[in-house]
Amino acid sequence: MADVRDVTYELLRSHDLTTIFGNPGSNELPFLAGMPDDFRYVLGLHEGAVLAMADGYAQARGGPALVNLHAAAGTGNALGPLTNSVYSHSPLIITAGQQVRSTIGQEVMLANVDAPALPKPLVKWSSEPACAQDVPRSISHAIHIANLPAKGPVYVSVPYDDWAQEAPAEAQHLLARRTSSAGSLSNSQLAELTAALDGAERPVLVLGPEVDAERANGDAVRLADRLGAPVWIAPSASRCPFPTRHRGFRGVLPASVQGITDALSGHDLILVVGAPVFRYHQFVPGEYLPAGARLVHLTSDPGEAARAPVGEALVGDVKDALARLANAVAPGLRPELPPLPEHPVAASAGERLNPAELFALLREHAPEDAVYVKESTATTGDFWAQMDLSEPGSYFFPASGGLGFGLPAAVGAQLAHERRQVIGLIGDGSANYGITALWTAARYRIPVIVVILKNGTYGALRWFSKVLDAGEAPGMDVPGIDFVQIARGYGVDATSVRTGAEFTEALTGALGAGKPVLIEAETELTEP
């Protein structure tokens, strides 16, 4: 009979989970030793970077990723990045090694005393199987839960002596099991929503990350065109669900109650698709909606639907709903929107690059289908003003705002993409949270390009101190960091630039390098 370990590898293989992100400890060795040849182990030097790499990989490939953490300590190291994964609905199957089953209650070294509770509430489901024979079924359970709407991370703790135990014969049935969601809007729900859209004088669409995750971008464009409606991206955007140079694109909504109300003023029907209502950040109180406006919310996440403070919610398949609505609404009821103005002129004024100029140069010289993983909050406004994003899966940002996502996620995203160039746009304040991912990029020759926007401070904090009228606070500057030397120490080629010409030359060289490259760009301080 096969043992638990062999059956588990068969199960993972059947779900195309043959890449394992991890940093091993003694509890994990019995599972990892003698790993099958068709599996790939991607080593990270810290579990925070490991988790974020897996997150970027999962989002970029549009499927699950497997993470192997070391006991309680490794799980704790990964909890910060996990705050992003839960809000990006990343289907991460996280396993953690546990001490020998009979010793856990003694709280021996490396025992995870209450393992299922440790990652909560940042996972959809967590478990430590009651016996070794239930390990394959528990991991199967985790895989299905992670991939069902609303997708998200799951966690299974496995005592390391379980792997050598005999697996039950019925575990073979797990290999062929598949689950999928069949939740779509009913015909009556679709008809009612279609009538509301057709009857509205000034409808507006607000699109969220789920639209991009489900590759429903094209359906959203068709719906916007037929309605003649402007389109906003929902606040705190972690993905780009709509082409940024489409005539209907209006930008990213501000992340405050009053800011959203002001931006949507004059619209009588607000259709929010694939986003929470709303991910507020700055506390600027006001009315939730403009006077006389009706809000309808489409999402696959019952939690998002239930916790919204305003509006009507329909829970179902977002891609299916957008496609059917695009076919159902009446075209030509409203005048065509005027084309967008040209990109604003971007130029640097001093000895450092203005981020807007850097983004304009990226737009000009980077591949049209490049993927951007961004973690430079202070440059958000310049980024959206300058970039031309039209392909699905072109933009990723930490969904919960937790620093440490960007650099490792860029490495993971590039690992998922053989044909698209991934470019990480990382602030110098956030880069240090995930800097060890550079070693992984070098070790596996992952050809990601990392651009460090170096202004010597936490720029977003400086802006937020103005919002809060808080004045100067300690700990907002990060001077004296040499990212070129750090990158070279990890085995990554690196260079520093100050001008647009220098950046263009460095970018051109990096695009043809076939290996990871870091560009440290000395930039001016800007505000989001």
Catalytic residue among 10, 76, 281, 456: 281
Catalytic residue among 15, 44, 56, 70: 70
Give the contacts of 37 (CB within 8 A, at least 6 positions apart). none
Separation CA 331–CA 194 (nearest Å): 12
Separation CA 148–CA 315 (nearest Å): 13
Question: Does the annotation mark 25 as catalytic?
Answer: yes
Helices of type H across 98-244: 135-147, 187-199, 209-213, 217-227
Rounded to whole angstroms, what are the CA distances from 417 to 58, 131, 155?
11, 39, 26
Q: Go through the chain and tell me how many residues it has.
A: 528
Residue with tokens 């939740």: 183
Catalytic residue among 44, 48, 259, 401: 401
Query: Residue 506 belongs to what H/E stretch?
Result: helix 500-511
Question: Does the annotation mark 26 as catalytic?
Answer: yes
Question: Which tokens sit at 149?
Answer: 């709407």
Catalytic residue among 26, 102, 181, 265: 26
Give the 3-state secondary structure percentages of the chain, helix then strand then coil, rounded to 5: 40, 20, 45
Helices of type H across 200-342: 209-213, 217-227, 257-263, 302-307, 318-328
Helices of type H across 269-348: 302-307, 318-328
Question: Which tokens sit at 455?
Answer: 């202004």
Catalytic residue among 22, 25, 56, 311: 25
Q: Which amino acid is at 522?
A: E
Question: Does the annotation mark 402 as catalytic?
Answer: no
Residue with tokens 């992340």: 255
Question: Does the annotation mark 170 as catalytic?
Answer: no
Q: Which amino acid is at 80?
A: G
Catalytic residue among 22, 47, 140, 520: 47
Rounded to whole angstroms, what are the CA distances from 323 to 193, 208, 216, 220, 319?
13, 16, 8, 8, 6
- Choose among 375, 387, 444, 389: nearest CA to 416: 444
Residue with tokens 């980024």: 383
- Choose among 331, 256, 252, 261: nearest CA to 289: 261
Spell 365-386 as b/e; 16+ CB within 10 A means b.
ebeeebbbbbbbbbbbebbbeb
Separation CA 15–CA 18 (nearest Å): 8
Helices of type H across 267-328: 302-307, 318-328
**Angle 414-416-419 from CA coordinates, rounded to 5°:** 70
Rounded to whole angstroms, what are the CA distances from 145 to 61, 140, 232, 358, 504?
18, 9, 31, 42, 45
Separation CA 314–CA 277 (nearest Å): 12
Name the residues annotated as catalytic.
25-26, 28, 47, 70, 281, 401
